[in-house]
A and B are shown apart, each in its own frame.
Chain A
Amino acid sequence: MTVVFERTKGLTDKQFHYCPGCTHGVIHRLVAEVLVELGILGKTIGVAPVGCSVLAYDYFNCDMHEAAHGRAPAVATGIKRTRPENVVFTYQGDGDLASIGTAEIVHAAHRGERFTTIFVNNAIYGMTGGQMAPTTLIGQKSTTSPNGRDICTMGMPLRVSEMMATIHGAVFVERVSVHNVPHIKKAKKAIKKAFEIQLEGKGFGIVEILSTCPTNWGISPVDSLKWLEDNMIPYYPLGNFRSPEEGK
């Protein structure tokens, strides 16, 4: 019998707690596969956020550090500056990174910290039960924007990659999506590139990954993939915003 597909060694045996149709699982797997393929799993230290992926420390098969809400980039700075020979990444959602942790992510990039950030944007607060995030789309209903996001009082959704691309120390900024197989493959490529840039010591790298939240969006897993494609991608265009070649 030939094994054609198996669990990556980059993940532990622990069963994910994620809701059906949530793409966190896919993204976890992509990150884990990249760590294995680059042969760096044994020297990687990951930093988990507060949010749906708070338990990421149980899933990645490497040393992990659970940070306070939004503070993962500061914790990662403390780790990378004391252990520069290790590979360090943060895994953060949009409430964590784009709201409470804006100062930490901006200044980690600004200092050009040599770690990698995986930023999962699903346009909502998942773990706390579907509240509005800075990334929630215009008109999108949430439990704290029951009539839909209103630009006048809640502002326009925050485009994190575009903002990060203005920062000199952020040498790699790319937005990808995981709503279908071709895009999952592209997402993995971007993740790999971001880690390679860390290994080359070039500066800070961030990959924003558009992700689904069927539970809090209130639509089926299949429809969520379509909703992401139809609604998120037009506002959050995919592509590379900054790479070392361009940043020279």
Chain B
Amino acid sequence: MAKILMKGNEAIGAAAIKAGCKYFFGYPITPQNELPEFMSRELPKINGVFVQAESEISAINMVYGAAGAGLRVMTSSSSPGLALKQEGISYIAGAELPCVIVNISRGGPGLGGIQPSQADYYMCTRGGGNGDYRHLTYAPATIQEAVDLTIEAFDVADYYRNPVIILGDGMIGQMMEPVEFREPKPRALPKKDWATTGTEGKRKPNIINSLALDPAELEKHNFKLDKKYKEMEENEVLYEMYKMEDAELVIVAYGTTSRITKNAIDALREENIKVGLLRPITIWPFPNKAFMEIPESAKAILTVEMSMGQMIDDVKIVNEGRLPVHFYGRTGGMIPTPDAIIEKAKEILGGVK
């Protein structure tokens, strides 16, 4: 199939449709509006349904209903809107339902701004909802990757019966790049025999639920969920290593920031300064095993984020104090420049030499 030039938000929508998603429930918020707009235009053409909900809370609860009914379903939002969806995400995880949620994130806290940001790392990896739950979060760095991961996300969600988040910053949502739509790797997906479809008098009622008043029963449910999360940690981690072989400085960055970092690394390499990139593609589960592949040559780690430093917590946890961990970040919608990253890298390597 030929490549087509698409805006990130629309490409994610097209990818969802390609993955068999016919149902979308959303609420307007910048900078993700092109996604619900695309779905409102395209879904009726394939006998699908688009509903503009009265709030993000309602939208995620419509997703909860549709997912319970056994259909492939999606919602999208941006940071303050995703915060409102957290209640629903907790219920969906608790009730073990599959769905895909897109967060095209912007600066915060509060109403914040509408420019790209990565300050939702905590919300997307720790969850803002109540209880012991986890969900896979993909952080694409290109529109093509956003497309591939969105298609994959529906299979992953169905496989684990768990919500999956696509976290793109405003840059991923708004930028245009050439994309092609490819088939995902085949997965054996379980039958949705738990869905609410009506008993037709032929079976016992199916019940979609996250309530368990008996603490022993609820603990057992949490153990079951945890086993599933461990399985995701084992099988679903994705990351990229770039020019890592002889690196003396390892930069950890994801999404848009990783692309800027690659430019910085290329420039530094021209000057024979040995820097490599470790790019998490899944930010939960965090690619801990990638850190085991860091070469002996490494003297320090630099985490670059469009936030005041959130992913750095995970970097420090896996690093276990082995290498010094530095941070460079811009926030509030400001984008790091390659020059600033280059300068920071030189400062660190100058210091550790």
Instruction: For B208, list chain A residues within 8 Å (CB).
Output: 64-66
Instruction: For A104, list chain B residues within 8 Å (CB).
Output: 54, 57-58, 61
Instruction: For B68, list chain A residues within 8 Å (CB).
Output: 65, 75, 78-79
Instruction: A43 to B205: give the CA distance in the assembly, Å.
Output: 11
Min CB gap B150→A, angstroms: 20
If the complex has contacts A82-B23, A107-B53, are A63 and B211 also in contact, measured as CB distance less than 8 A? no
Q: A21-29, A54-62, A207-215, A220-228: which lies at the B interface?
A: A54-62
Complex contact B205–A63 (CB within 8 A): yes
A40-62 contacts to B (CB < 8 Å) = 41-45, 47, 54-55, 57-58, 60-62
Complex contact A78–B54 (CB within 8 A): no
If the complex has contacts A63-B196, A65-B196, are A78 and B209 also in contact, measured as CB distance less than 8 A? no
If the complex has contacts A81-B49, A107-B53, are A64 and B196 also in contact, measured as CB distance less than 8 A? yes
* CB of A103 within 8 Å of the partner chain: yes
B54-80 contacts to A (CB < 8 Å) = 54-55, 57-59, 61-69, 71, 73
* CB of B297 within 8 Å of the partner chain: no
Complex contact A82–B88 (CB within 8 A): no
Question: Which of chain A's residues has its CB closest to B62's CB?
Answer: A78
Instruction: For A76, list chain B residues within 8 Å (CB).
Output: 65
Min CB gap B100→A, angstroms: 14
Complex contact A75–B49 (CB within 8 A): no
If the complex has contacts A61-B205, A63-B205, A77-B51, are A45 and B69 also in contact, measured as CB distance less than 8 A? yes
Question: Which of chain B's residues has its CB closest to A47's CB?
Answer: B65
Min CB gap B139→A, angstroms: 27
* CB of A243 within 8 Å of the partner chain: no
Instruction: For B209, list chain A residues within 8 Å (CB).
Output: 57, 64-66
A77-95 contacts to B (CB < 8 Å) = 77-79, 81-83, 86-87
Please tell me which one of the listed residues A68, A106, A107 contacts residue B87 in the complex, with CB atoms under 8 A apart: A68
Interface string of A175-211 (1 = CB under 8 A from B): 0000000000000000000000000000000000000
Min CB gap A113→B, angstroms: 9
Interface string of B192-226 (1 = CB under 8 A from A): 00001111111001111111000000000000000
* CB of A74 within 8 Å of the partner chain: yes
* CB of B229 within 8 Å of the partner chain: no
* CB of A67 within 8 Å of the partner chain: yes
Please tell me which one of the listed residues B58, B67, B197, B207 contacts residue A74 in the complex, with CB atoms under 8 A apart: B58
Instruction: A58 to B213: give the CA distance in the assembly, Å.
Output: 13
Instruction: A238 to B45: give the CA distance in the assembly, Å.
Output: 45
The tally of residues in B whose CB lies under 8 Å from a CB in A reads 39
Instruction: For A159, list chain B residues within 8 Å (CB).
Output: none
Complex contact B207–A66 (CB within 8 A): yes
Instruction: For B138, list chain A residues within 8 Å (CB).
Output: none
Please tell me which one of the listed residues A12, A63, A71 contacts residue B197 in the complex, with CB atoms under 8 A apart: A63
Instruction: For B53, list chain A residues within 8 Å (CB).
Output: 74, 77, 107
Please tell me which one of the listed residues A41, A54, A74, A83 contacts residue B62 in the complex, with CB atoms under 8 A apart: A74
* CB of B91 within 8 Å of the partner chain: yes
Instruction: A140 to B92: give the CA distance in the assembly, Å.
Output: 38
If the complex has contacts A66-B210, A78-B25, A107-B54, are A43 and B62 also in contact, measured as CB distance less than 8 A? no
Complex contact B210–A75 (CB within 8 A): no
Min CB gap B114→A, angstroms: 24
Complex contact B73–A82 (CB within 8 A): yes
Given contacts A42-B202, A82-B73, 8 further A-B pairs with CB under 8 A are A60-B205, A61-B205, A63-B196, A65-B65, A71-B64, A81-B51, A82-B66, A103-B57
A→B interface (CB under 8 Å): 12, 41-45, 47, 54-55, 57-58, 60-68, 71, 74-79, 81-83, 86-87, 103-104, 106-107, 110-111
B→A interface (CB under 8 Å): 23, 25, 49, 51, 53-55, 57-59, 61-69, 71, 73, 87-88, 91, 95, 196-202, 205-211
A-B contacts, 30 of them at CB < 8 A, read A12-B205, A41-B199, A45-B69, A45-B198, A55-B211, A57-B209, A61-B205, A63-B205, A64-B208, A65-B207, A66-B208, A66-B211, A67-B61, A67-B65, A67-B91, A68-B61, A68-B64, A68-B91, A71-B88, A74-B53, A74-B57, A75-B62, A75-B65, A75-B68, A78-B25, A78-B67, A81-B23, A81-B66, A86-B198, A107-B54
